[in-house]
Amino acid sequence: MSETENEKYKDLSRENLLKVIEKLEARKKYGLIWDEEKVKEQFEKDAVNALPILKEIKGKEIKTSPDEPINILIEGDNYHALSVLNFTHQGKIDVIYIDPPYNTGNKDFVYNDNYVEEEDSFKHSKWLSFMSKRLRLAKTLLKDSGIIFISINDIEQAQLKILCDEIFNENNFLANLIWQNKEGGGSSDSKYFRIKHEYILAYSKNKECCFIKGDEISNLDRYKQKDKYEKVRGPFYLQKLGMGSIQYSNSLDYEIETPDGGKVKPKDNNSGAKACWRWSRKKLEWGIKNNFIVFKKDKENIWQVYTKQYLNCDNEGNKIDRSQRPFGVIDQFSSTQASKEIREMNVLGFSYPKPKDLIAYLINKYINKSAIVLDFMAGTGTTGHSVLALNKKDNGNRSFILCTNNELNGVGSELAKKYPKKDKEQFGICKRVCYPRIEKVIKGYKNSKGEKIEGLGGNLKYFKTGFIKKTVNGDDMKIKLTRECTEMLCIREGIFDEKKKAEDFAIFEQNGKIMSVYYSVERKGLKELKKELDKMKGEKVLYCFTLDPLGLDKSDFTNWKDTQLEPIPQKILEVYEEIYEY
């Protein structure tokens, strides 16, 4: 142990030293280790003796389609938002997409209100700490069949892969997709190679439960020919066995006996380059025996050798379902198109947004058209736009949850300097870009050319993170949390329309489902609440305040028919106990 490390530990109490030792002992032999002690985040300071809640910003609600799901936008630190979602949506999310900061050192990653510079010796530690804490919370939100997609580039791709292997289990790794994100000659960021791609890491919560839709087969019309194996192998097309474009190999340059006893060799191409067969002698013998080889004479009466390329069978004889095999290289969407799309919407600028069609492509790999999609690094709101556009295209019923802070960056910072007397919050990323964009997508807008673009429809509720401060009296905190958790309960149940508000209770209804919240430790108001609920038809759930961590006194609820009882705030506290120390 170095002298510096001795200084670091010499003043620790015995109890704290034991904690350090336990942490070191618990670490795996293989995996990532980074300096956590030097990378405490601001959100950890904000949450000291406090618990996060959500409060709705009523004036920003958008409602155009009453029968469609309600989408959620949360403004605030994404760790706090994920903490709340661990109560409202644990095990309910189908798809997560995030586009985290790439840690380029070029003012893209803010840590404790400061940009992380390229020369920062703790650059990777800060990024790993930031990602690890959030991904661990995100994992618990996914259904067993759920998928997470994470965009990244070369700077942190290797570290992210190992981190995700640890968090999601390497057995649940699905793919490291390559996205060709630039048109033309590519980036000159590297002096060694011209880079025109990024990555999208894909993991499942449980690969055994995960199903990925395949890509449409672009050359399906080629599979026109049929033989006696059609039921198993499907239709086929013929492809020449001799290819002038394949890299020449002496072992693949041999004579093949034709049906009339002659011999044929691969034909050299017009440039004079030597040609060879695609298959080895042994593979050819297998192909002839198993009816994968066809001999045909061309117009010049010369024998040609072809392989049968079956739709549902590979050239090893293995049955395949091409509809379940999406490509690992994505080359249809460019960053240039995404930036142009933002400008066309007359939304104040943001650097390097992801194309909405790229995210829609990823979301569409999930088979459920009623999927709940989460983006807890939402930025410009592209994921929300993608969900609405995809629903319009395939008549889906997906909903989204977007979480983003309202930090000043890029254009926002310049505007704040230009208008110092104005409220700086209006120039933050959530209020300046994310919300206006979703509003325009839902309601419709005029583009930069003055052309009217029809809205896609949909509903949105806007929430902001807040806190309940811990008090010396724990019961006071429980009472306060119960009074302030109504929006969280509405989100958890998906029930938002307030039908009745009294001093001790509130009743909400949505699409035939009813939720009531009883706030008081006194039970005198229960009689009135029951009377109101008895008038209503539909599924009912009652969240009722109790100081008893063991649950409700059932004697208070005799003759409450068809009503599910839930104690609060204990369930919320149990979730937060797993996340925060308080």
pLDDT at 294 over 50: yes
- pLDDT for the residue 2: 45
- pLDDT averaged over the chain? 86
Position 8 pLDDT exceeds 80: no
Question: Beta strands 372-375 and 399-404: pairing type?
Answer: parallel
Nearest to 172 by CA among 131, 130, 144: 144
Give the range among 122-136, 295-309, 362-376, 513-527 with minimum mean pLDDT.
122-136
Mean pLDDT to the nearest integer, 270-298: 88
Buried b (16+ CB within 10 A) or exposed e, 301-313: eebbbbbbbbbbb
Question: Above 60 in pLDDT, residue 223?
Answer: yes
Which of these, 574, 530, 527, 529, lies nearest to 550 by C-alpha position? 574
* 534: its two tokens: 């008895």
> For 135-165, how does the pLDDT look when each residue is reduced to its tens digit (9 = 90+)?
999 999 999 999 999 999 998 999 999 999 9
- The helix/strand/coil state of 402 is strand
What would the DSSP string read from start to end of 208-241?
Answer: GG--BPPPP-TTGGG--B--TTHHHH--EEEEES
Arithmetic mean of pLDDT, 509-520: 94
The confidence band for 89, taking pLDDT boundaries of 50, 70 and 90, is very high
Give CA–CA dist 401/74, Å, rounded. 8
16-30, 169-183, 337-351: range with highest mean pLDDT: 169-183
pLDDT of the residue at 371: 96
Separation CA 272–CA 248 (nearest Å): 12
Residue range 10-31: mean pLDDT, rounded: 74
Distance CA 138, CA 94 (A): 11
Q: What percent of the chain has pLDDT over 70?
A: 86
Q: Tell me if 225 sits within 8 A of 236, measured CB to CB.
A: yes
Task: Confirm if 467 and 47 have CB atoms less than 8 A apart.
Answer: yes
Hey, what amino acid is at 132? S
Which residue do the tokens 């940009």 mark? Answer: 115
Nearest by Cα to 142 from 108, 107, 98? 98
Q: How confident is the model at residue 490 (pLDDT cuts 50, 70, 90)?
A: very high
What average pLDDT does range 275-284 have in this prediction?
Answer: 90
pLDDT average, residue stretch 515-542: 93
The single-letter DSSP state of residue 433 is I
> For the residues 344-373, what does the mean pLDDT come to?
86
pLDDT exceeds cutoff 80 at 229: yes
pLDDT higher than 80, residue 72: yes
Q: Which of 71-80, 86-95, 204-213 has the lowest mean pLDDT?
A: 204-213
Three-state secondary-structure class, residue 489: helix
Burial code (b: 16+ CB inside 10 Å, e: under 16) for 11-44 equals eeeeeeeeeeeeeeeeeeeeebebeeeebebebe
pTM above 0.85, yes or no: no
582 neighbors 470 (Cβ within 8 angstroms): yes
Centre a 10 Å sphere on the Cβ of residue 428 and count the other Cβ atoms it contains: 22
Give the H/E segment covering residue 452. Answer: strand 452-454
For 55, half-sphere exposure in the C-beta direction (CA atoms, 13 angstrom radius) is 9
**C-alpha 539: how far from chain center:** 31
Per-residue pLDDT band at 498 (split at 50, 70, 90): very high
Position 566: which residue type?
E
Cα separations (Å) of 247 from 32, 251, 254, 264, 280?
Answer: 40, 12, 15, 19, 14
DSSP state of 243: E
Of 216-220, 468-472, 491-495, minimum mean pLDDT range: 216-220
- Report how far residue 113's alpha carbon sits from residue 409's, in angstroms, rounded to the nearest whole number: 11
Predicted pLDDT at 3: 46
Confidence of residue 549 (pLDDT cuts 50, 70, 90): confident
pLDDT at 388 over 50: yes
Region of poorest pLDDT, from 96-105, 108-117, 387-396, 460-469: 108-117
Task: Identify the band that residue 494 occupies on the pLDDT scale cut at 50, 70 and 90.
Answer: very high
Domain locations along the chain: 3-215+328-462, 220-324, 492-579
Q: What is the pLDDT of residue 227?
A: 95
562 in Cβ contact with 499 (< 8 Å):
no
User: CA 291 to CA 280: how far, in whole Å?
Assistant: 16
Domain 3-215+328-462 homologous superfamily, CATH: Vaccinia Virus protein VP39 (3.40.50.150)
pLDDT at 272 over 70: no
- Region 101-129 average pLDDT: 76
